[in-house]
Structure 1
Amino acid sequence: MKTLNWGIIGAANFACEHMGPAIHAARGARLAGLATSSSDKASRFKTFAPDINVYSDYNALLNDPDIDAVYIPLPNHMHVEWTLKALEAGKHVLCEKPMTMQASEFDQLITARDASGLLAAEAFMIVHHPQMIRARDIIAAGTIGRVRHVGATFSFYNGDLDNIRNKPEAGGGGLPDIGIYTFGSARFLTGQEPLSIPYAKIDYENGVDVFAQVAAEFDGFGYSATVSMRMFPRQEVVVHGEKGVLRLTCPFNPTVHSQAELHLETEKNTITTERFPGTNHYIEQVEAFGRSVTTGAAYPCPLEFSKGTQAMIDMAYAAR
């Protein structure tokens, strides 16, 4: 399999702490470039990728013919612009979520992707984790019977108003930042789309949503979610069927928050626990991206899927 030379546009903390090391560690990937004007930020990347080339501006990296793919961790409101520029420059693109601020913005990305023949995708890493894949397979196999309810919770405390997640002008807010996981996981696990969102209670601070309780209706089952940037850290997905309950602990950032586990309780009053220690879904994501580029394999999270999650977020805002 051909090794992809990756470049990162912007020296975000998340890129330095998670995605940069993942690209560096992934099979079939080489972290070749970083675009940043900050020598201090660049030096942090050199601690794990000492041979990385540093470009003083974003366009310089895009103009380098040796760069095959780019990862974009820029502020949310810049994602569409730089994804389009990267595709125009002939680069495959993995862009941090949320890739757009409204579902309709995905249309131009899909058009640009198709016209270029390149791979462009949102960095929705959870669909690459074996915990999520295993849970989807259990549901599809009918092990818990007909699904009647899906519940999802994701919360953490971030009261720093200087943090980009708390800045409305940069596309901040709890639903764009972490609601994408509670909504997207339900869609991925069940393969269904929401029919309606009859209830959404959303609290705002400093112009961004910091707490949301959302109820949705899917075909045959109900859905509820709690999303907050002002609550004690918690994350869980529970799928309740007629014949059993499937509980996913730490489904969104395992190894950071806690260990990913899958608890299956069946009608025989037994609980089976599966654990997934040590799996890095950021590495899994980079490797899946590389396989799709080099072999033509279907990518697990195409733009069309990401558009569906953003459409659900749009529905929640409209229902408040």
Structure 2
Amino acid sequence: MTDPIRWGVLGASDFARRSMAPAIHAASGHVLAALATRDAAKAAPFADLAPGLRVHESYDALLADPGIDAVYVPLPHTMHVEWGVKALEAGKHVLVEKPLAMTEAGIAPLIAARDATGLQAAEAYMIVHHPQWQFVRELIDDGVPGQLRHVEGVFTYNNSADPGNIRNTAAMGGGALPDIGVYTYGSTRWATRAEPEAITHADLDWEAGCDVVARVSARFPGFTAHWVNSMRMLPEQFMLFHGDAGIIRVTAPFNAAKFGEAVVEWRGRDFVTHRRTWPGLNQYVHQVEAFGAAIRGEAAFPWTLEDAAGTQRVIDMAYAAAGGRPPA
């Protein structure tokens, strides 16, 4: 019998409490073993979920815990690489929340630490673990859209009523593109296996140094893309892949089961719409189990640090095309 992979979480973030800690607890062959936080009130829901959970008062103490095999890092964006590297140097595999860094160059130390230690290190880019995205990739590989001509992507929400949120704080890596541009940009790259040649349009609205609305267009080899990401618009999300022979639409591409049911629709020249659904799947559980398979040498993790760096490169290109980010 294979021993379970024992996880520690750095910081009692809301997202860790609501999504990733329950996913680790639910994943087959995984145990939520420790949490690092000084706040007993924040630790309580984690302890309720996983009785026997060890609570450390510092991140360093958790990294020194010999009963931890893998570490999940849900800290503010600007702290991801620092603590990802520290986890690797402490002998722990590490799954780091997105975005890994604020620039492509900022990811390099994490890649170097992964290579030096031989441990698993990855970005927690959960959507590639959902079968709906694997199916979309297969449809494109099989030529269902024909010659792909255009990709349209939208991911928006409105957190204007929460100015203290780190997503609204420039010094902590806030902004729509770091938070959700990674999904529209990264899913386009992953599904099409293509990289943009240029950003052809970048129109960004700024508040307190954070991009709160981003309308960005890009040219890829053979097709164009247009993405809208916002922290000041009614929640919406979809992805559309439009070719000369067919269309593929993903209606809940990023928060499947929360925003809506995981559905992929596609049609060709006969105008017959086909539909496939995946009810009840948890992409975060799939992500944890895929990371475990990579640790055990059973399968390659489908989203590498280099994949994450590629998406960050596109975000860097979008900021550059918009004239750069204002000072934090």
Shorter-chain TM-score tier: over 0.9
Note the 1:143-292 alignment, pairs <5 A.
143-159=144-160, 160-292=162-294
Match of 1:27 in 2: 28
Work out the CA distance in 1 between the residues paired with 2:104 and 2:297.
29
Count of aligned positions:
320
For residues 99 and 227 of structure 2, what CA distance do their matches in structure 1 show?
18
Q: Where has structure 1 moved over 4 Å in runs of 4 or more?
A: none
> Which residue is equivalent to 2:19?
18
1:297 to 299, 307, 310: 299
The alpha carbon displacement at 1:88 in A equals 0.5
For residues 16-62 of structure 1, the C-alpha deviation after alignment (integer angstroms, 9 at most, x for no partner) is 00000000000111000000000000001122112211011101100
Secondary structure of 1:290's counterpart equals: helix
Match for residue 326 of structure 2?
A: none
Instruction: Tell me the secondary structure at the aligned position of residue 5 of structure 1.
Output: strand
Q: Which amino acid aligns with 1:45?
A: F
* Deviation (angstroms), 1:2: 3.8
Classify the secondary structure of the residue corresponding to 1:198: strand
RMSD over aligned CA atoms reads: 0.8
3-state SS, counterpart of residue 296 of structure 2: helix
Contact 1:175–1:209 (CA under 8 A) maintained in structure 2: yes
1:71 is aligned to 72
8 Å contact kept, 1:197–1:217: yes
Q: Distance in 2 between matches of 1:27 and 1:71?
A: 17
Give the deviation of 1:295 after TM superposition.
2.0
Pairwise mapping of residues 104-143 of structure 1 onto structure 2 (< 5 A)? Answer: 104-143=105-144
The answer (yes or no) to whether the contact 1:2–1:294 under 8 Å persists in 2 is no
Does the residue aligned with 1:274 lie in a helix, a strand or coil?
strand
Superimposed CA distance per residue, residues 250-275 of structure 1 (whole angstroms, 9 cap, x where no aligned partner): 10011111111000111111000111
Q: State the Cα distance separating 1:296 from its structure 2 match.
A: 4.7
Identity in percent? 50
Unaligned runs of 5+ residues in structure 1 are none
Partner of 1:47: 48
User: Which secondary structure state, in structure 2, belongs to the residue aligned with residue 273 of structure 1?
Assistant: strand
Amino acid of the structure 1 residue aligned with 2:164: D
AA partner of residue 290 (structure 2)? A
Secondary structure at the aligned position of 2:112 is classed as helix
Question: Counterpart of 1:6 in structure 2: which amino acid?
Answer: W
**Normalising by structure 2, what TM-score?**
0.96
Which amino acid counterpart does residue 31 of structure 2 have in structure 1? R
